[in-house]
């Protein structure tokens, strides 16, 4: 990272640490939502932006992360402090298994297969009523009291998201991340150069799934509920859109996108019922005229 | 009838044609010679509007066609029989021909089938299952049905058995007698020069030489550019 | 000289059409060997068979004694056969240095080992130094920070070769290395091939339409036509071969 | 469950499948010729249904059913043509992410606009009097309108086949699927053809929406619920193949009918499992579209 970028990140962290003492609680929650969304979007972007694999099924892993925490509480399987770290592991394991199947298909068919898996898990969550409470979802005191109060909850989320993003950043800028980009640019050539492309794609899918699962577990910390729509394909579209609006070709893009999306959403939902219209129009404009996303508007900041 | 004046053509950022100029007069058969990758196909694509020229002008019968869409260029009287297996393979031969026929010109399906009687025999077959010679026939027939006054032929002998190449020469002479002008890109120099009035030699996106058939047949460049003789290379002892 | 590549009875059929129809030839270690032939002769298919992008219908391909016919492309690459492509296939959005580094680390076997930092995994400065050496060797040191899509055509082809070299090949396969190049770029490429064969003791097998290039640098030439070998020998004998002349000039109608 | 109610369940599943075929055929046609993935296809379906309801409500009850059934898809087709000219034309050569997102963005916008224009309340359209009854066979009463929807799908299937194989327009579409450039060399205006094909796709989606109006409540949310089903049908059959869409619809109809009979709660899961299974065995669907000839050249 360039010095300027380091300074920027440090400054942003300072602002975020100060936030609970400055912002009203309502806005603190918006910010917390934005942090979780940022992780979800950055994790999805490991596939979409870095590897060139368009997945419309990342909500499956997000939802599995959320359900891990919620089900562990509902059935008294494990305490929160065990269930929470287990969430990304279980989501990653499911991603490994589904990825091994979905990655047999290419491009559009891959996107649709991930969508099918996401819908399959959605149906499971809805129909396994005895286990999941079905469409009613699970809600209750599944999170330690400490994390429910605004400031500690915010700091917990901030700490987890920061650590996870640091790790993701590391992965994106490691040789592995470089290999993923090479796959995105020219899959055949990457293979001809000796790269085991299929293994790398599966590794990326698994990692992305694990980080999405972590984001889902954080969602539960925040809202103390899990319900089937968390696994739906519409939910899967969200991190992709956030990443695209922010800019998929840089690491920072999805983070800016998440901040922008969450604030715009929460502000507009109050003002107008046309949030979807605004989002659609914005996405249309970005896709047609600003394929680099929000980050491409900043001068001299192409790579993050 | 066709004037190509100093066109530049790019694929993305790579500069493929650099100031290519050539002309075809009514009734002429012109051959464009050059190795693979010399820019012959790109020249044809630019003339037909498939890869529009970024600079320069293309005029056909004194009408500017440089920026017209391909179908408008076809309707202006230019036809292209492209190289390779460019047929609608899932359509039958009859469907291919019906699709290609435009009204208001001398070529009807009946007349084309009279020129290529073989096509009538194989009319119900899917084009994907034709032999190389049959495909070439169908491609030319298709181009004729668009009623061109100037026909562009890209590598008509490519992949054809020698017998079929001779036959192709016969068809082309027949078409020429019908008053059609022809611009043909070929690697088979002897075949092309036996038919043509004049020719151009292309190399690396430029026109290297222009001349009559007899001039080109004897030109030393032809031997060096198309055949096997080594050329002097000045700075080559690195 | 030892035989590095031994192709015997190679056949590739697509449906009923034999694109490669019983091709046999040998490439001696350390030599510069050309495969030529008119358009559609089967050169591209032959190269795809050698690199594993097609599986042969019949025949064997031995690289240093080991049969590589039908192996996956990345396996063949790891066994020491690298190629540069006819249509330039560098990675457009990566910088020149990044993609040469990638090509070097792609030789590392597992994704998991690649998760750490770049320099550490590469074993310290050594590999980054190798990147710089390679860049200097192909004349790209000055444009190392640029994205490949911003390079000239000649530089892209040079980068293509650098990527192939990064796999530390024994045999370098070049598919029409000077296609679409200006005369100046062509000379640069020819000089580079000769330098690589000389300094790196690399075996080079290439296809080419520019006969000046073919005859000025090849030690041995294999001519194929309609999927078969019709002549083989040094420049003089191939030039003198009447069948070759027939194939290239065509017969009058 | 007795025989009569089982038969009615099966007929109901068949009706759904038949209607899905009409919608999926449009999706597949557009993909085949234009190579574009249209996530706004469900929006055309919804707009068709809403227009149907509005046009129907213009006249005295029942009078305008048949005109509306024709007019609603025609209006939607016109709207589709406009969208093709303004938006989709720009992204034919773009990567699939761009296509997915642009059409998804459009579906968001259309959903919101529909909400504005038609409101959040759902509407109903009764079937015409002639089709309101039931056909009694062996103790089971089959709703006549369901039979009509199945007949309509058969007619659409046959009509599409005849269009594609017996008319010049159809040959042009099939030629464009393989090689649009070659078609332009035949002097055909390919961009105009693409507009027409896109409009035809929108027409089929809207026809599905209009036809389904008497069977369910019409309102917001119809778009996203149908989209996934239509995609599953299309993907199982193979994108770009009309016959594939028919086959996909038949598979889905069968799976759904069996699921409804034996394990009603799991029926939706079976559909996704069927899709996963098909794609794992045949990664481009049962009857995947042929690749464009010229993209395969060496």
B35–C182: do the CB atoms touch at under 8 Å? Answer: no
- What is the pLDDT at residue B80? 92
Confidence tier at C192 by pLDDT (50, 70, 90):
confident
Whether residue A269 is predicted with pLDDT greater than 60 in this model: the reply is yes
Does the beta carbon of B168 lie under 8 angstroms from any beta carbon of chain C? yes
Residue B18 CB coordination number (10 Å): 17
Nearest of B144, B148, B159 to residue B109 by alpha carbon: B144
Contacts of C116 in chain A (CB under 8 A): 174-175
pLDDT tens per residue, range A198-208: 989 999 999 99
Nearest C-alpha of chain D: how many angstroms from B128?
10
Whether residue C88 is predicted with pLDDT greater than 80 in this model: the reply is no
Average of per-residue pLDDT across D193-208: 96
Does the beta carbon of B37 lie under 8 angstroms from any beta carbon of chain C? yes
Nearest C-alpha of chain D: how many angstroms from B85?
8
Complete edge-to-edge strand list for the sheet that includes strand B2-11 = B14-24, B2-11, B55-60, B63-64
Contacts of B86 in chain D (CB under 8 A): 179, 181-182, 293-294
Nearest C-alpha of chain C: how many angstroms from B213?
13
Length of chain A: 304
Average of per-residue pLDDT across C4-32: 89
Contacts of A276 in chain D (CB under 8 A): 108-109, 111-112
Q: Which of B74, B88, B102 sits opposite D179 (nearest CB)?
A: B88
Q: Which of C51, C114, C163 sits opposite A175 (nearest CB)?
A: C114
In this complex, whether B and A touch, counting 3 or more CB pairs under 8 angstroms, is no
Q: Is residue C220 a contact partner of residue C232, using CB atoms and an 8 Å limit? A: yes
Does the beta carbon of D113 lie under 8 angstroms from any beta carbon of chain A? yes
Mean pLDDT is lowest, of A66-80, A175-189, C103-117, C196-210, for C103-117
Nearest chain C residue to B195 by CA: give it.
C253
Distance CA B42, CA B136 (A): 20
Inter-helix orientation angle D267-281/D222-237, to 10°: 40
The pTM assigned to this predicted structure is 0.84
Nearest C-alpha of chain C: how many angstroms from A256?
22
Distance CA B90, CA D290 (A): 9
Which chain B residues in 101-160 lie under 8 Å from chain C, judged by CB atoms?
155, 157-159
Does the beta carbon of A128 lie under 8 angstroms from any beta carbon of chain D? no
Distance CA D263, CA B116 (A): 63
Contacts of A273 in chain D (CB under 8 A): 115
Strands C3-14 and C58-63, bridge-based pairing: antiparallel
Inter-helix orientation angle A197-223/A150-172, to 10°: 170
Contacts of D232 in chain A (CB under 8 A): 116
In a mutational test of the D interface, the residue from A123, A185, A231 whose CB has the highest number of chain D CBs within 10 Å is: A123
pLDDT tens per residue, range A233-252: 889 999 999 999 999 989 99
- What is the pLDDT at residue C2? 84
Nearest chain C residue to B230 by CA: give it.
C212
Q: Average pLDDT, whole number, for chain A?
A: 89
Residue A5 lies in a domain: no
Residue D13 CB coordination number (10 Å): 21
Per residue, the 3-state secondary structure of chain B, as one string, reads CEEEEEEEEEECCEEEEEEEEEEECCCCEEEEECCCCCCHHHHHHHHCCCCCCCEEEEEECCEECCCCCHHHHHHHCEEEECCCCCCCCCCEHHHHHHHHCCCCCCCCHHHHHHHCHHHHHCCCCEHHHCCHHHHHHHHHHHHHHCCCCEEEEECCCCCCCHHHHHHHHHHHHHHHHCCCEEEEEECCHHHHHHHCCEEEEEECCEEEEEEEHHHHHHCHHHHHHHCCCCCCCCCCCC
Average of per-residue pLDDT across C206-221: 86
Contacts of B95 in chain D (CB under 8 A): 171, 174
| Number of folded domains that form chain A | 1
Q: How many CB pairs under 8 A join A and C?
A: 103
Residue A16 lies in a domain: no
Q: Is residue D177 a contact partner of residue D32, using CB atoms and an 8 Å limit? A: yes
Radius of gyration of chain C (CA): 19
Residue A193 lies in a domain: yes
Residue ranges per structural domain of chain C: 3-250
Confidence tier at A149 by pLDDT (50, 70, 90):
confident
Instruction: Return the residue matching tokens 């339409």.
Output: C209
CATH 3.40.50.300 fits C3-250, yes or no: yes
Does the beta carbon of D265 lie under 8 angstroms from any beta carbon of chain A? yes
Q: Which of B13, B158, B194 sits opposite C40 (nearest CB)?
A: B158
pLDDT tens per residue, range D170-187: 999 989 888 888 999 999
D293–B87: do the CB atoms touch at under 8 Å? Answer: yes
What ipTM, to 2 d.p.? 0.80
- What is the pLDDT at residue D189? 93
- What is the pLDDT at residue D297? 28
Does the beta carbon of B95 lie under 8 angstroms from any beta carbon of chain D? yes
- What is the pLDDT at residue C87? 66
Nearest C-alpha of chain A: how many angstroms from D235?
8
Nearest chain D residue to B89 by CA: give it.
D178
Contacts of D104 in chain A (CB under 8 A): 237, 241, 283
Instruction: Find the domain containing A168 and state its range.
Output: 26-232
Does the beta carbon of B112 lie under 8 angstroms from any beta carbon of chain D? no
SS3 label, residue D46: helix
Nearest C-alpha of chain A: how many angstroms from C120?
10
Spell out where D44-166 has E strands.
134-137, 140-143
Whether residue A216 is predicted with pLDDT greater than 60 in this model: the reply is yes
Residue A160 lies in a domain: yes
**Interacting residues of A28 by C-beta distance below 8 A, sequence separation 6+:** A19, A20, A150, A151, A154
Q: What are phi and psi of C13, to 5 degrees?
A: -110, 140
Nearest of A240, A238, A239, A257 to residue A298 by alpha carbon: A257
Distance CA C12, CA C231 (A): 20
In a mutational test of the D interface, the residue from B76, B86, B88, B107 whose CB has the highest number of chain D CBs within 10 Å is: B88
Does the beta carbon of C120 lie under 8 angstroms from any beta carbon of chain A? no
In this complex, whether C and A touch, counting 3 or more CB pairs under 8 angstroms, is yes
- What is the pLDDT at residue C111? 55
Distance CA A280, CA A67 (A): 30
- What is the pLDDT at residue B227? 46
Which chain B residues in 2-31 lie under 8 Å from chain C, judged by CB atoms?
13-16
Residue predicted with more confidence, A146 or D149: D149
D108–A283: do the CB atoms touch at under 8 Å? Answer: yes
A136, A141, A144, A148: CA torsion to nearest 10: 80
Contacts of B35 in chain C (CB under 8 A): 209-210
Distance CA A120, CA A232 (A): 9
Contacts of B50 in chain D (CB under 8 A): 181, 184-185
Nearest C-alpha of chain B: how many angstroms from C43?
13
Does the beta carbon of A1 lie under 8 angstroms from any beta carbon of chain C? no
Distance CA A132, CA A125 (A): 6
Mean pLDDT is lowest, of A219-233, B137-151, C76-90, C141-155, for C76-90
pLDDT tens per residue, range D74-115: 999 999 999 999 999 988 888 888 888 999 999 999 999 999
B187–C38: do the CB atoms touch at under 8 Å? Answer: yes
Most confident of C14-18, C218-222, D281-285: C218-222
**DSSP element (H, E) containing C61:** strand C58-63
pLDDT tens-place values along chain B, 238 residues long? 999 988 998 876 667 888 899 999 998 999 998 877 788 899 999 999 999 999 999 999 999 999 999 999 999 999 999 887 788 888 999 999 998 898 888 888 888 888 888 889 998 998 888 887 788 889 888 988 989 999 999 988 876 777 778 888 888 888 888 888 999 998 777 788 888 899 998 887 888 888 888 787 776 555 555 543 333 333 333 3
Q: What are phi and psi of B17, to 5 degrees?
A: -105, 135
């Amino acid at each position: 990272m360039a010095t300027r970028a380091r300074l920027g990140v440090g400054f942003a962290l300072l602002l975020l640490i100060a936030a609970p003492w400055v912002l009203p609680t309502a806005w603190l929650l918006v910010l917390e939502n934005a942090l979780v969304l940022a992780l979800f979007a950055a994790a999805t972007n490991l596939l979409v932006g870095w590897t060139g694999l368009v997945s419309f099924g990342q909500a499956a892993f997000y939802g599995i992360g959320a359900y891990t925490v919620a089900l562990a509480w509902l059935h008294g399987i494990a305490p929160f402090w065990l269930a929470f770290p287990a969430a990304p592991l279980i989501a990653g394991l499911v991603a490994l298994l589904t990825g091994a199947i979905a990655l047999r298909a290419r491009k559009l068919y891959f996107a649709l297969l991930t969508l099918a898996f996401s819908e399959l898990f959605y149906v499971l969550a809805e129909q396994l009523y005895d286990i999941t409470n079905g469409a009613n979802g699970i809600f209750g005191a599944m999170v330690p009291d400490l994390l429910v109060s605004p400031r500690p909850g915010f700091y917990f989320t901030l700490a987890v998201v920061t650590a996870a993003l640091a790790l993701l950043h590391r992965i994106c800028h490691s040789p592995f991340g470089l290999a993923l980009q090479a796959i995105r640019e020219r899959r055949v050539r990457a293979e001809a150069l000796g790269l085991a492309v299929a293994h790398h794609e599966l590794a990326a899918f698994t990692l992305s799934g694990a980080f999405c699962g972590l984001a889902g577990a954080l969602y539960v910390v925040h809202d103390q509920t899990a319900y089937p729509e968390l696994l739906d394909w519409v939910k899967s579209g969200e991190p992709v859109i956030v990443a695209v609006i922010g800019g998929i070709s840089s690491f920072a893009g999805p983070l800016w996108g998440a901040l922008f999306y969450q604030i715009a959403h929460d502000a507009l939902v109050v003002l107008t019922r046309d949030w979807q219209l605004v989002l659609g129009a914005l996405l249309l404009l970005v896709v047609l005229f600003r394929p680099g996303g929000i980050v491409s508007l900043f001068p001299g900041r192409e790579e993050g | 009838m066709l004037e190509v004046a100093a066109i530049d053509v790019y694929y993305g950022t790579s500069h493929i044609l650099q100031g290519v100029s050539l002309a075809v007069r009514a009734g002429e058969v012109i051959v464009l010679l050059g190795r693979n990758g010399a820019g012959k196909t790109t020249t044809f694509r630019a003339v037909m509007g498939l890869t529009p020229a970024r600079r320069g002008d293309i005029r056909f019968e004194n009408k500017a066609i440089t920026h017209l869409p391909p179908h408008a260029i076809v309707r202006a009287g230019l036809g292209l029989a492209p190289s390779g297996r460019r047929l609608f393979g899932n359509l039958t031969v009859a469907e291919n021909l019906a699709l290609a026929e435009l009204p208001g010109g001398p070529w009807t399906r009946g007349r084309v089938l009279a020129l290529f009687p073989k096509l009538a025999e194989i009319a119900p077959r899917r084009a994907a299952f034709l032999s190389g010679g049959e495909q070439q026939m169908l491609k030319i027939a298709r181009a004729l049905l668009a009623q061109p006054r100037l026909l562009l032929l890209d590598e008509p002998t490519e992949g054809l058995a020698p017998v079929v190449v001779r036959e192709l020469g016969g068809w082309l002479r027949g078409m020429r007698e019908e008053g059609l002008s022809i611009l043909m890109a070929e690697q088979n120099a002897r075949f092309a020069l036996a038919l043509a009035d004049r020719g151009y030699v292309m190399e690396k996106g430029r026109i290297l030489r222009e001349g009559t058939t007899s001039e080109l047949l004897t030109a030393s460049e032809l031997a060096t550019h198309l055949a096997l003789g080594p050329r002097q290379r000045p700075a080559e002892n690195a | 000289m030892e035989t590095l590549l031994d192709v015997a009875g190679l056949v590739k059929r697509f449906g009923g059409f034999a694109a490669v129809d019983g091709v046999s030839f040998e490439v001696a270690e350390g030599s510069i060997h050309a495969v030529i032939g008119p358009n559609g002769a089967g050169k591209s298919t032959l190269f795809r068979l050698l690199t594993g992008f097609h599986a042969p219908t019949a025949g064997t391909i031995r690289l240093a004694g080991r049969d590589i016919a039908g192996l996956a492309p990345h396996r063949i690459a790891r066994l020491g056969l690298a190629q540069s492509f006819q249509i330039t296939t560098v990675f457009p959005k990566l910088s020149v240095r990044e993609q040469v580094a990638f090509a070097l680390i792609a030789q590392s076997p597992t994704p998991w080992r690649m998760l750490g930092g770049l320099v550490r995994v590469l074993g310290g400065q050594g590999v980054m130094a190798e990147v710089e050496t390679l860049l200097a060797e192909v004349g790209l040191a000055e444009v190392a920070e640029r994205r490949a899509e911003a390079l000239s055509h000649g530089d892209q082809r040079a980068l293509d070769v650098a990527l192939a070299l990064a796999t530390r090949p024994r045999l370098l396969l070049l598919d029409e290395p000077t296609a679409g190049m200006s005369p100046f770029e062509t000379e640069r490429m020819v000089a580079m091939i000769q330098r690589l064969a000389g300094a790196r003791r690399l075996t080079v097998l290439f296809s080419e339409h520019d006969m000046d290039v073919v005859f000025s640098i090849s030690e041995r030439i294999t001519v194929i036509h309609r999927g078969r070998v019709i002549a083989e020998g040094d420049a003089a004998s191939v030039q003198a071969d009447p069948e070759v002349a027939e194939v290239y000039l065509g017969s009058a109608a | 469950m007795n025989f009569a109610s089982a038969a009615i369940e099966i007929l109901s599943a068949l009706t759904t499948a038949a209607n899905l075929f009409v919608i999926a055929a449009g999706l597949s046609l557009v993909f085949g010729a234009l190579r574009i993935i249209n996530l706004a296809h469900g929006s055309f379906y919804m707009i068709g249904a809403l227009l149907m309801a509005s046009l129907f409500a213009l006249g005295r009850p029942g009078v305008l059913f048949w005109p509306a059934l024709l007019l609603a898809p025609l209006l939607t087709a016109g709207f589709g043509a406009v969208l093709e000219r303004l938006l989709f034309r720009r992204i034919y050569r773009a990567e699939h992410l761009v296509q997915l997102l642009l059409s998804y963005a459009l579906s968001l916008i259309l959903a919101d606009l529909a909400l504005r224009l038609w409101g959040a309340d759902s509407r109903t359209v009764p079937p015409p009097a002639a089709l309101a009854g039931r056909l009694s066979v062996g103790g089971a009463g089959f709703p006549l309108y369901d039979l009509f929807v199945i007949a309509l799908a058969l007619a659409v299937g046959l009509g599409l086949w005849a269009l594609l194989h017996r008319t010049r327009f159809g040959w042009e579409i099939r030629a464009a699927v393989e090689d649009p450039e070659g078609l332009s060399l035949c002097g055909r205006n390919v961009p105009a053809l693409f507009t027409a094909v896109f409009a035809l796709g929108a027409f089929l989606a809207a026809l599905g929406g209009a036809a389904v109006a008497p069977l369910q409540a019409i309102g917001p949310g119809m778009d996203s619920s149908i989209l996934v089903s239509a995609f599953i049908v299309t993907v199982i059959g193979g994108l770009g193949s009309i016959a594939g869409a028919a086959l996909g619809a038949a598979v889905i109809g069968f799976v759904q009918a069996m699921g409804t009979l034996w394990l009603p709660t799991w029926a939706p899961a079976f559909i996704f499992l069927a899709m996963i299974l098909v794609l794992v065995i045949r990664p481009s669907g049962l009857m995947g579209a042929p690749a464009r000839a010229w993209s395969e050249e060496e």
